[in-house]
């Protein structure tokens, strides 16, 4: 069983630009990968069922012309809803990074309190500019198998619409109560902090969250951009780590799929 390689499907479309990095991180973590354009999946939706993990990587899908992730979210809801429902009901993993997170939020799959109904969004940064910087994350007790309670991670962000907001306070209360917040922006000491450590002004410093099952995850920072030790801009003065901070997220996804989904 330890040699079993779970299958990860990396979905791309016009404007996606982090698909190769995401595929590299999954392969480094021990997964078999398929890099697939959404048009192919629309023509052959059964392909998704052949995989254990669905990853929607970062970029600017369809130019973000109607808002970040909006067109892709509509495409997923109108053209791929049935196979996605089957994939989710089978207990498989869905991971959205940056633009992928934006798309999952706009489908309503995140926070997923009412599947396919949008209850939150990711909107323009408080700085009113594109934020391209490194920041720290802390993980509170949470439902995701991909984040360990209390851990801290150093990852880059690169987005203009990363501010997480909810439609009303009750949604935020439910997300907190059900331990769906998987990571928050923090300062180097792990403490809550404003700009630039929270690069966008997200409510409750939320950088990532999962659905109530823990198996659908979205995050704005880019773990695939810190999968190798040399990705860390501090390594020349602090030395190389054994692996990049972001790789642990991909390793945990592969390990979870190997442990829980091998029969699927």
Q: Which tens digit of pLDDT belongs to each residue from 149-184?
A: 999 999 999 999 999 999 999 999 999 999 999 999
Residue whose token pair is 């309503």? 108
C-alpha span between 262 and 197 (Å, rounded): 39
Nearest Cα neighbor of 141 from 225, 44, 214 is: 214
Residue 150 near residue 184 (C-beta atoms within 8 A): no
Instruction: Band the pLDDT of 2: cuts 50, 70, 90.
Output: low
Residue 160 near residue 68 (C-beta atoms within 8 A): yes
Going from N- to C-terminal start, the domains of the chain cover: 7-260
In Å, how far from its chain's centre is CA 237? Answer: 30
For the 7-260 domain, the top CATH level (class) is alpha beta
Which residues belong to the active site? 98, 222, 224
pTM, to two decimals: 0.97
As given in the structure block, the two tokens for residue 246 are 């972001």
In the chain, the percentage of residues whose pLDDT exceeds 90 is 97
C-alpha span between 158 and 119 (Å, rounded): 24
């Amino acid at each position: 069983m330890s040699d079993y390689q779970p299958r990860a499907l990396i979905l791309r479309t016009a404007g996606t630009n982090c698909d190769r990095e995401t595929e590299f991180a999954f392969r480094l973590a021990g997964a078999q990968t398929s890099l697939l354009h959404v048009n192919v999946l629309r023509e052959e939706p059964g392909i998704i069922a052949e995989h254990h993990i669905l990853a929607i990587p970062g970029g600017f899908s369809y130019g973000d012309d109607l808002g970040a992730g909006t067109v892709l979210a509509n495409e997923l809801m109108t053209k791929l809803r049935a196979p996605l429902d089957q994939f989710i009901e089978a207990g498989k993993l869905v991971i959205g990074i940056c633009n992928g997170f934006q798309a999952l939020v706009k489908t309503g799959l995140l926070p997923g309190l009412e599947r396919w109904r949008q209850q939150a969004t990711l909107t323009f940064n408080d700085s009113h500019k594109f934020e391209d910087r490194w920041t720290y994350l802390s993980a509170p007790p949470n439902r995701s198998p991909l984040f360990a309670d209390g851990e801290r991670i150093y990852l880059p962000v690169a987005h203009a619409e990363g501010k997480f907001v909810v439609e009303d306070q009750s949604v935020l209360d439910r997300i907190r109560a059900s331990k769906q917040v998987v990571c928050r922006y923090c300062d180097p000491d792990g403490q809550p902090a404003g700009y630039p450590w929270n690069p966008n002004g997200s409510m409750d410093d939320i950088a990532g969250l999962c659905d109530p099952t823990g198996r659908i995850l979205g995050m704005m920072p880019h773990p695939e951009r810190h999968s190798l030790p040399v990705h860390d801009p501090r390594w020349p003065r602090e030395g190389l780590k054994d692996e990049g901070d972001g790789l642990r997220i991909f390793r945990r996804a592969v390990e979870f799929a190997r442990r829980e989904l091998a029969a699927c």
